[in-house]
Each structure stands twice: as C-alpha cells, then as structure tokens.
Amino acid sequence: MCMVSKVMIVSIVFLVSIVWFSCLYMANADVYKTLGVSHNGVPLTCIFEPDPKFTHDQSKIMDVSETAINNWETALYEHSPNGYWELRTINIPFELHDNKTTNDFRMCNILISFEYMNSETSALGFTHIDFSKSYHKYMHIVLYLNSYKDLNMPKITITFGESGSTIEVDADVKEFPIETVQNIISHEFGHALGAGHYTITTPPMVKKPWINTSIMYYALDPSDTELMIPKYVDVKMIELIYGSDGFGGKVPLKPPRINYYELGDVDICTYKCGK
C-alpha cells in the first residue's frame, strides 16, 4: 500500500480536480477562482516516488514532476520579476514512504503522490487541501497514472468452464503519456499554490483552452501530448494571492478570496472579461 491510500483518513477541507475535456462552457464571462488558502512563506514540495507496480518508468515520472514545478518558477520570475518565487523540492523514494501518512512528512507543505488509476470518475488528478491543523497545513496532489481504454466498461467478467464461476478483472488499461502526467501535475500545482479553476465562455470557442488560455482551465484532453506551461494570467493570480514580492516577502499577504473575480480586470481575464 502506498502512502496516498492511507492519507484519506485525515480531515479533508476540500478537493479540487482536473477532469477529461468535454464541450461544456459557462455563460456570460471569464471567471478565475482562488481556493481561499495560501502558504505562509516558501513552500517545500515533496515528490513521492510512485509504486513500481503503477508505472513502467518511475524515473520519468519524477523528472516531469520536477519539470512542471520548474516551469511554474520560471513563469513566476518572468511575469513577476520583483518577487521571490523559489520553489524548493525534495524526492522521497518509494521504500521511505510506503505505508506512511502525511503526518510522517510534516516538513512538506505540498505533497505529490501517485495512484494506479481512477475507475469511478473522470478526474485525472486532484488536490486535497488540509489546513485544519496548526502543526501541519498542507496541499496534497494525487495523480492517476493509468486509464481504462473504455471508461464505460470498467470491469470484465470472466466465466470459468462448466462450473459457471465468475471473476471480475480490470478492463484493458492504458498508461497515460508522460506529457499528460506533466500537464496534470502542472495544473494541480497551481491549486497547491492557491489558484482555483479558470473558466471561459463561448462563442468564440477557444481551441485547446488548457494550452492557449490558462493552465488552470478545469479540464484537459489526456490524449493531447502538447505540453502546457503557466500563462501570464496564471502568474497574476498567484501574485494577487502572495503579493508582488512573492513568498514570505515584505508585502503582507492579501487574504485570498474564494471565487475571486473582477469585471474588466485584463490581468485576470484573458478575453471577454466583463462582457
């Protein structure tokens, strides 16, 4: 059993997730939300090596996790150059976290761990937020590394000979492309910093909104291997949460608001904002 399987016993404040892309749009205007929470100082991210049974290449999973975080740091410095945006990481080998819980890793402000697959919903990953304990406030990112090829048939029933006995086994399983894993981490890491989802409107339809509009768009196509990076609009949302001088700087943190939205704010709304 890996660490994340036991983590779910702790107090859950709320979850945010990214799902399979579908043609669902909200009306009226762009909306960018916050989660109403933020880190007090420079967050340390702990990346937990996946169970070797979950993936054929643990090292690539760890590498793209680091890359996704580095892309956030690069974007933050590029679009908010007066801030201190260092994102510190540490890798935890599987044997050191197997059968342990988040209480064993209180130094981690952000935790990234991996599960085999999600056979119940369309969520590709989620961020579990627990700020209920003063001694350990943390964001826990969980990613699924594999998907059913046919999500409508999660189980196959096999019948054995004349006895008629049956057993249910997993349907055909497909490992997500490594680019998809990186994209999911990139999105969920935005949640781990306090950003909520970005929602756009139609018409006009935005092609690949998770690529072209905001890394925090609420859905992506897991078969699309084009890599996404944080946009200017994403950095400006993080800047609003932490201040223009970044993590633990001199500018007091602005209390983040849930469902943050301002009409006509061109920094937050990339198009059609307020119309």
Whether 91 has a pLDDT exceeding 70, the answer reads: yes
Domain 16-242 sits in which CATH superfamily?
Collagenase (Catalytic Domain) (3.40.390.10)
Mean per-residue pLDDT over the chain, rounded: 78
Q: Taking 80 as the threshold, does the pLDDT of residue 160 lie above it?
A: no
Mean pLDDT (whole number) for 2-12: 32
Work out the percent of the chain whose per-residue pLDDT is above 90.
44
- Phi and psi (nearest 5°) for 219? -145, 160
Most confident of 191-195, 211-215, 248-252: 191-195
pLDDT of residue 117: 87
**Per-residue pLDDT at 198:** 87
pTM assigned to the model: 0.80
Q: Where are the domains of the chain?
A: 16-242
CA angle 186, 187, 191 (to 5 degrees): 115
Per-residue confidence (pLDDT) for residue 184, from 0 to 100: 94
Give me the mean pLDDT over the 121-138 stretch. 89
Mean pLDDT of 51-62: 93
